[in-house]
């Protein structure tokens, strides 16, 4: 989020790159060909908005995910007393209000107060937030307002996924990492893949002498929070109730906790030293007796387990864990109800 009270110098960096492409004749399947960067930009430009306080004191980025539903970072609108939204296709200011916020997830949902006026005077479209995680090395784009340079489009790659970091209000959060250029003002904007789908909400930057890295809230986590808010007008942070360590076999180990009084012992039957091998959502049965079954997911590192738990929305709370006893090597499945603090 940019602060207008700070005075910054503009630094121009010039670079020349030459790429030589040589290929034999080939056939491209138009149904699978990825979009060009220009196509991704054109698809996104009317979905991305600038969010500003009135009078101007801070600003950030947001984007439409549905009709009159704008997603941004909580820290972008935190403390704003009069939220103003601008669209690329119009110079008019549009008053907005914050409907829902999760400081833990750093996500807020806004709506424009006079939607009919906005539709009559500005162009807009919605972006899709993908539940599919990117792979390291994938191309990534970002669109936002770094240092107040409006609707700036940048490109990079995914440098890391499921990076663990302390939350701004406690706890632990996970991010996807990218080397796409982002600075103050990009917060709340979309991190896009080559199909133009949102794979993250840009949230943090790390600056150094040699460059920078940016961090985005994973799309699947964002979808969980948005679903909870739009369905139940609230969200929370699911927890398993254990401390995690590593066994000699590099599997997730349940570290020390109060053995008889811990939530994990009561709800899941876990004991200190249990090794969590795999996890899945428990089979559900709807009112018509239709079963929905889920496959086990390997959780070889603690980030995998945290990621799985934090993706669960308010409809989902029952899980099954494949547990190995570190003393006798026996393996069994244990059902568990996730904590909802």
The residues annotated as belonging to the active site are: 75, 106, 187
DSSP SS3 for 85: strand
Please say whether the dihedral angle defined by the alpha carbons of residues 222, 226, 227 and 228, taken in this order, is positive or negative.
Answer: positive
For 228, phi then psi, to 5°, come to: -60, -45
Q: Strand, coil or helix: what is 332? A: strand
d(CA 330, CA 12): 62
Phi, psi of 128 (to 5 degrees): -100, 130
Alpha-carbon torsion (293, 296, 297, 301), positive or negative: positive
Nearest to 153 by CA among 123, 199, 192, 125: 192
**Greatest CA span in the chain, whole angstroms?**
69
Q: How far is CA 79 from CA 1, 75, 98, 108, 205, in A?
A: 12, 8, 11, 12, 21
Q: How far is CA 224 from the centre of its chain?
A: 9
Residues with Cβ within 8 Å of 206's Cβ and at least 6 positions away in sequence, in order, are 212, 213, 214, 215
């Amino acid at each position: 989020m940019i602060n207008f009270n700070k005075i910054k110098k503009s630094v121009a960096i010039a670079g020349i790159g030459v790429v030589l492409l040589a290929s034999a004749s080939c056939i491209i399947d138009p149904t699978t060909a990825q979009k060009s960067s220009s196509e991704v930009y054109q698809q996104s430009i009317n979905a991305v908005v600038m969010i500003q306080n009135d009078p101007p004191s801070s600003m950030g980025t947001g984007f439409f995910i549905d009709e009159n539903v704008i997603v941004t970072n909580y820290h972008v609108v935190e403390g704003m007393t009069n939220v103003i939204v601008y669209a690329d296709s119009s110079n008019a200011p549009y008053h907005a209000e914050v409907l829902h916020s999760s400081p833990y997830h750093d996500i807020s949902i806004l709506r424009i107060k006079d939607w009919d006026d906005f539709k009559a005077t500005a162009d807009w479209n919605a972006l899709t937030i993908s539940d599919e995680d990117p792979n390291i090395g994938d191309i990534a784009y970002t669109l936002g307002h770094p240092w107040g340079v409006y609707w700036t489009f940048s490109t990079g790659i995914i440098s890391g996924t499921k990076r663990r970091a302390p939350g701004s209000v406690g706890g632990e959060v996970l991010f996807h990492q990218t080397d796409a250029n982002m600075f103050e003002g990009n917060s709340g904007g979309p991190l896009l893949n080559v199909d133009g789908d949102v794979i993250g909400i840009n949230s943090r930057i790390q600056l150094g002498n040699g460059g920078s890295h940016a961090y985005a809230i994973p799309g699947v986590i964002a979808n969980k929070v948005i679903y909870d808010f739009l369905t139940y007008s609230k969200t929370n942070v699911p927890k398993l109730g254990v401390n995690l360590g590593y066994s000699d076999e590099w599997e997730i180990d349940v570290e020390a906790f109060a053995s008889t009084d811990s939530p994990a012992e009561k709800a899941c039957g876990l004991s200190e030293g249990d090794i969590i091998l795999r996890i899945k959502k428990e089979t559900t049965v709807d009112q018509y007796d239709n079963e929905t079954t889920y496959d086990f997911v390997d959780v070889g590192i603690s980030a995998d387990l945290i990621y799985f738990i934090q993706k669960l929305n308010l409809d989902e709370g029952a899980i099954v864990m494949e547990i190995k006893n570190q003393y006798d090597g026996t393996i069994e499945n244990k059902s568990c109800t996730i904590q909802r603090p």
